[in-house]
Amino acid sequence: MIDQRLYEEFRDIGRDIFVTGMTSSHGGNMSVRVGDKIIIKRRGAQLGRLKPTDFVETSFEEKDSGIIRASTELIVHRAIYEKTSALAVVHAHPRTAIVLSLSRDEIIPIDNEGSYLLRKIPVVTVELASGSKEMATKVSEALQGYKVIMQRGHGCFAIGQTLEEAYAWVSALEEVSDIILEHKLLGEEMIEYRKHSESYAKW
Amino acid sequence: MRGWAGNILDINLTDGAIDVLPLDHEMARLFLGGRGLGARLLWDLVGPEVEPLSPENVLIFTTGPITASASQTSNRFNVSTKSPLTDTILHANSGGWWGMQFKRTGYDALIVRGRAEKPTLIEITAEGVSLQDATHLWGKTVFETTEALGQDRNKRNVLCIGPAGENLVRIAAIMNDKERSLARGGAGAVMGSKNLKAIVVEGTQKNQPADKEQFKFMLYETGKLLKASPLTSQALPEFGTAVVMNVVNEIGALPTRNFQQSQFEGADQISGETITDTILETNQACWACPITCTRITKTSSGKEGEGPEFESAWAFGAQCGIDDLDAITEANYLCNDLGLDTISMGNTIGCAMELAEKRLLHSDLRFGRADLLPGLISDTAYRQGLGNDLAEGSFRMAAKYGAPELSMTVKKLEMPAYDPRGMQGQGLVYATGNRGACHETGNMLGPEVLALPRLIDRFATQGKAGIVSVHQNSAAVIDSLVYCKFANMAVAEEFFARTLTAVTGETFTADDLMMVGERVWTLERLYNLREGFTKADDTLPDRLLNEPVAEGPSKGFTAQIPPMLEEYYAFRGWDKNGVPREKKLKELSLQFAIEVAE
């Protein structure tokens, strides 16, 4: 069901997410859309050590037995594919971004590269940690206008045409968050260098 | 106006009636403008009983909500009709100035119906709309006509056909601003069939954004992206679109000698680099465009004009086994002046060359015969000698000589400059194209070759259908706004959505736009199904399916259409025969077309 090329992409990006500290050993998940099916990491598989048998193929819309083994977040992935033009979804737990999400309703990059790439990352609040309808609805709706969004206190969801693209947004988000945190820790006044920077809040 | 002018100009050439219809706002939100609005109007106006070159066919010229707003590349416009080359729905779009100027006359669209008794031109100015005798222009070339009607870059703009359109050549283009073209699918012949020589526009109205501050911010942000992209800020301005000639050749995806090979030994001589080093005089831009990819060139014999673009350089170059850049460039000029689609012209000549080499066509035509190009092109426009066969396009010509399999077409539209055996996704784009083999309706050059937005494996097939579908939807919405595809190589849909929001004052998200794209694509599919097209038409020439590439980086590959097609239909929510399901139509607000669905 999953060909070698696609497996290698899952494996390599899963390993990168783990080794860069953006998830714990068994956290995070990823999926791609193929035709009217979703290929998603199976529940409990280690993102940094994915094997060809660690994937579940399930229907895009209808329930089937594949959901027994699929990631807990399958409901969120399905909603994202239904409501956006995403072809790949990456969910991770980038630590600094999670820290910022605890006190902010949006993360607005202050570095040049981050402003250029992301402009703004909205933060949505969901009571349950994972797998709820509320989470599926809020996350998928937020991703209609953004490539990556934060769920407060939990983690991020990013979308792309490929896993690599979605992972790039996750990686950029964490870099942006690190810079914000370190600048805040430094405690110095920021010298604005961007035109229209006030407009990023409205992005 | 704020995005939409709210008016459709409706002209019947048979009786001279001129009406103004209101633009339905709900229709505008669902289809935006350009290609989408054209498809929606065509659905109601031209059914399967209508012959493309009969008075019952219509020409629908459309602009989009961002046209003339001064957003980067907001100069483009579209024409929709039923194609006399493919019998499919046809859309073609063009840049320059005419689209912007037409929008400034206060119309979103122009419907042209019927057939005039004698050659006619339409003039649209602030003083009103008039139909005028154009007998004195009939027979004149595009350059002569454009000059005679007083083309004035930013004030008065001319759209017309040349002799090819007048002579109902199935690969005739409609030309605007002298050397820009609505090229593909033979819309020029439809205009000729109506005895309509030209449309001249002079506008005074402005498309002013509803939210000026947000619009300024979007101009700034979009400008940053265009400057940051090496493609739009360096490669296209310096080398033009032919900058990709060597790149596509190096990977073994440049169709050569009627797709018999996938690498051309003379690629460098016809590349963007060589054009810049030898014949380029200056580069130029369409209205409100910072990219400046237009080539103003001068050949060694002293002839001057626009071009060649990548596709034209390929069509008269690698496709015909010709590496003489002067000859290719002058062939391009001649097509512009006579009003011909350069891709179809070059592709068809390449097919004739193979027919002749295989002794199926009795002619001294051979690959590499650059000296024969001017005569062949001229004979095509005037339907003389072999030109009368070439004027029918590659498929009809090859069929006449008993070898339709040598026609490199899909749905009778000649293929552009990418070999599907070296770019599997591009093959699927061609096979499923609603107007036939077309790279502009979902070009996979970005992801499969240029790493835009990310590099994907060009030989892979699993998962490719989704990426193709997204690119097709994206192209459809860009053609509906109407933006330039080159801008989209640096600027994502979310920017277009925010600019559209600023211009119209109505909120659009990136996914709203992508849904418009899917809606437009699906409606075009339904149109073709209503015309009698089936799954069997979603394929490629036998050569590409069954003859592996013999040498080079794509050696051993054929185009793997069947597995990708199955995945493609599933991704789109169509049944196994490629018919959109009723549920999908409801999702896309296409219930009016439900008669065609499963």
Residues of A in contact with B447 (CB under 8 A): 161-162
Least confident window among B14-28, B103-117, B441-455: B441-455
Q: What is the pLDDT of residues A86-100, one digit of tens each?
A: 999 999 999 999 999
Q: Which of B217, B457, B570 sits opposite A35 (nearest CB)?
A: B570
Chain B residue numbers with beta carbons less than 8 Å from the beta carbon of A172 are: none
Confidence of residue B273 (pLDDT cuts 50, 70, 90): very high
Does A3 contact B457 at a Cβ distance shorter than 8 Å? Answer: no
Kindly report the nearest CA distance between residue A5 and chain B, in angstroms.
8
Share of chain B above pLDDT 70, in %: 100
Per residue in B13-54, pLDDT tens?
A: 999 999 999 999 999 999 999 999 999 999 999 999 999 999
pLDDT at A62: 67
- Let me know if the fold of B7-201 is the same as that of B242-414: no
Interface test with B, best of A30, A36, A170, A203 (most B CBs within 10 A): A36
Q: What are phi and psi of B416, to 5 degrees?
A: -80, -160
What CATH number belongs to B242-414?
Answer: 1.10.569.10
pLDDT score, position B403: 98
Taking all residues of chain B, what is their mean pLDDT, rounded to a whole number? 97
Q: Mind telling me how many Å the CA of A178 is from chain B's nearest CA?
A: 24
Q: Considering only CB atoms, which chain A residues are within 8 Å of B562?
A: none
To the question of pTM greater than 0.80 for the whole model, the response is yes
3 state DSSP class of B48: coil
* B297: closest CA of chain A, how far (Å): 36
Own/partner long-range contacts of B12-16 (Cβ < 8 Å, ≥24 apart): B12/B113, B12/B114, B13/B55, B13/B112, B13/B113, B13/B114, B13/B115, B13/B116, B13/B120, B13/B131, B13/B194, B13/B195, B13/B196, B14/B55, B14/B113, B14/B114, B14/B115, B14/B116, B15/B114, B16/B131
CATH superfamily of B7-201: Aldehyde ferredoxin oxidoreductase, N-terminal domain (3.60.9.10)
pLDDT the model gives residue B598: 63
The tokens 């089936």 sit on which residue?
B534
Cα-Cα end-to-end distance for chain B: 41
What pLDDT, in 10s, does the model give residues B422-445? 999 999 999 999 999 999 999 999
Reply yes or no on whether the pLDDT at B56 is more than 70.
Answer: yes
Looking at CA atoms only, how far is residue A93 from chain B in angstroms? 23
Q: Give the model confidence (pLDDT) of A4-62 as tens digits.
A: 989 999 999 999 999 999 999 999 999 999 999 999 999 889 999 999 999 999 987 66
- SS3 letters for B427-481? HHHHHHCCCCCCCCCCCCHHHHHHCCCCCCCCCCCCCHHHHHHHHHHHHHHHHHH
Nearest CA distance, A106 vs chain B (angstrom): 18
Min Cα separation B493/chain A (Å): 10
Distance CA B490, CA B226 (A): 6
CB contact under 8 A, B566 and A35: yes
| B566 with A144: Cβ contact below 8 A | no
Cβ contacts (< 8 Å) between A147 and chain B: which residues?
Answer: 494
Confidence band for B453, pLDDT divided at 50, 70 and 90: confident
Spell out the domain ranges in chain B.
7-201, 242-414, 424-539+560-596
Question: For residue range B516-568, what is the model confidence (pLDDT) as tens digits?
Answer: 999 999 999 999 999 999 999 999 999 999 999 999 999 999 999 999 999 99
* Closest residue of chain B to A115, computed from CA coordinates: B221
Q: Is B447 on the interface with A (CB under 8 A)?
A: yes
A160 contacts in B (CB within 8 Å)? Answer: 453-454
**Are B57 and B190 contacting, i.e. CB atoms less than 8 angstroms apart?**
yes
pLDDT average, residue stretch B310-333? 98
pLDDT for res A21: 95
- Under the banding of pLDDT at 50, 70 and 90, the label for residue A198 is confident
pLDDT digits over A89-134, tens only?
999 999 999 999 999 999 999 999 999 999 999 999 998 777 788 9
Tell me how far apart the alpha carbons of residues A155 and A79 are, in angstroms, rounded to a whole number.
17
Report ipTM for this prediction: 0.87
Whether chain A has a CB inside 8 Å of the CB on B290: the answer is no
Mutate to test the interface with B, among A58, A82, A87, A161 (most CBs of B within 10 A): A161
Q: Please count the other Cβ atoms lying within 10 Å of the Cβ belonging to residue B94.
A: 23
Q: What is the pLDDT of residue B90?
A: 98
pLDDT (mean) for B73-83: 98
Contact status, residue B129 vs residue B203, Cβ threshold 8 Å: no
Token pair listed for B28: 């505008």
- Residues in B closer than 8 angstroms to A171, CB to CB, are none
The pLDDT of residue B4 = 98
d(CA B527, CA B434): 9
What distance in Å separates the CA atoms of residue A31 and residue A67, rounded to the nearest whole number?
A: 13
For chain A, say whether B511 makes contact (Cβ under 8 Å).
Answer: yes
Q: Which of A61-70, B147-156, B196-205, B509-518 has the lowest mean pLDDT?
A: A61-70
The alpha-carbon gap from B516 to the nearest alpha carbon of chain A, in Å, equals: 12
Q: What is the pLDDT of residues B2-12, one digit of tens each?
A: 999 999 999 99
Please answer whether residues A3 and A39 qualify as being in contact, where contact means their C-beta atoms are separated by less than 8 angstroms: no
- Please tell me if residue A164 touches chain B, with a CB cutoff of 8 Å: yes
Euclidean distance between CA atoms B110 and B288, whole angstroms: 23
> What is the reported pLDDT for A64?
74
Which residues of chain B does A203 touch, with a Cβ-Cβ cutoff of 8 Å?
Answer: 498
Cβ of residue A87 closer than 8 Å to a chain B Cβ: yes
Residue B408: which pLDDT band, with cuts at 50, 70 and 90? very high
pLDDT of residue A63 exceeding 80, the answer is: no
Selected residue of B216, B450, B456 to mutate for chain A interface (largest A Cβ count, 10 A)? B456
Is A199's Cβ below 8 Å from some Cβ in B?
Answer: yes
- Residues of A in Cβ contact (< 8 Å) with B566: 35
Residue scoring higher pLDDT (B346 or A202): B346
Instruction: Tell me what the mean pLDDT of segment A171-182 comes to.
Output: 98
CA-based nearest distance A40→chain B, Å? 13
Minimum-distance CB partner of A195 among B220, B466, B473? B220
pLDDT of residue A67: 73
Answer whether CATH 1.10.599.10 is correct for domain B424-539+560-596: yes
